[in-house]
Structure 1
């Protein structure tokens, strides 16, 4: 049974009627209801298709945050063979919000940086809801250094509301850690690909998304601040988050048009949470194509291409 979002209520109502008919049939109280069930299933499918064909930016935000949406660990499990996690920043502690390690992607050795939100209460607490502390970004720098030393491509999976804003994180140099991770990503001499699989929130995202190719899932979001945060600053009213989401240009479609990202990974009708394996495989195909496009490029060529990409964003938006 799916967890329905508020705007999906028409679909929930139809699928609820289907469940009622099946329950009646199981109790022997209905006669030959298969035709009616098939009709309702077709209606539910079409209604879902119509809804997702015209999602507002706020509705896309809700889809990007859906609790059943595939998380970073799902992508690692589905795409990376022989994944070996590497822990710790060699300075303070391990940060479970950012998972890092080495593995093989379709026959090629890769380094992985992945922000994991967690799938239930226990895992969300363990992974701090995907909000990394300074040690997470320092771990990312360590893994990027290792990847460059051995000429291994870096794949980052972005899904965070933002870097952790707690006092301890600030005391340990959160801003400096984010800046160094961003700088390291910009200067890497190996191919880098970032996929925004859910939320790409602020510096917490850009710290591991300064890549040669930045891809977004169709219903992911990527922004300098959350819609709620922007509404609180601009209007001192977090209930205006829907207005903020619309004005901030946070959707994959807007960001592709603005040149901030390089491609969109399509999702199944109704979002990736309705067909996890399908969307994970689609992301894998996009990553494979991006890596193939950078095959044979030298370290200097990769750095130059990445530099031009990000300078072009500034020129376009300036």
Structure 2
């Protein structure tokens, strides 16, 4: 691989002069600049970008963690972050954690070793006390997750309000036996959803039933299993908040095959308002959230921290949500 030393020798100039030309420094004569550029073009020299990055102490690369890239929500989140990064001449390294704490910590090691400039956590697998020490190596922010005391920017939406809105809709449709689904019990965002669910029941003097709450629910197959559990209950809910459009689709599919009429026998609400809501029969009522915008705002906030435009401090930014009513309720 050609080096600056070789270019300097071929042009009979110093390495400093070659470096000045490569970095567009003004203090080089026109004749020498043209000669050096001509040689660089002839030998097809490419500067070592890694070495440059090391000197500048930046990589123009950020890392984004998501539990799984094949989930439509996280696919759109990646798209939002990546689009904004591209327009700002940054690259994005995507880490799938698969809800694994060790993998999340391996991602943060990239920040420690200056392989990325900053990190966006699209989920939170570890206790905050394990994440916080990495802040001394660069900015970290939470996106689509929440923590009650993390001293970093948190960008998401009002999980409590969105869920409360969905449950009230089911109540207004005449349901008083309403189920609830969540994914991981350690997620504070999921806990806020549960609080919204319980508050709506309390406000309308409706019963709580632990048999109507289902955890560890992520995908279409989980929707199949949830329906089977509901169908086997002696006292089953007539409506359910699934927390996820994929789960809603699976539940509706299995319910329909089993002879249930949705929404007459079982009303279903999803979350995220993915395209699947419009192709399932019946179409799915869902909470719409601006996922692309969520990713874009997360990237821009991270860059503001990197550039020193804002200090790395606690700031909770919540984007608006809307209930999109369709045939499943």
TM-score w.r.t. length of structure 1: 0.28
Which is higher, the Rg of structure 1 or of structure 2?
Answer: 2
Greater fraction helix: 1
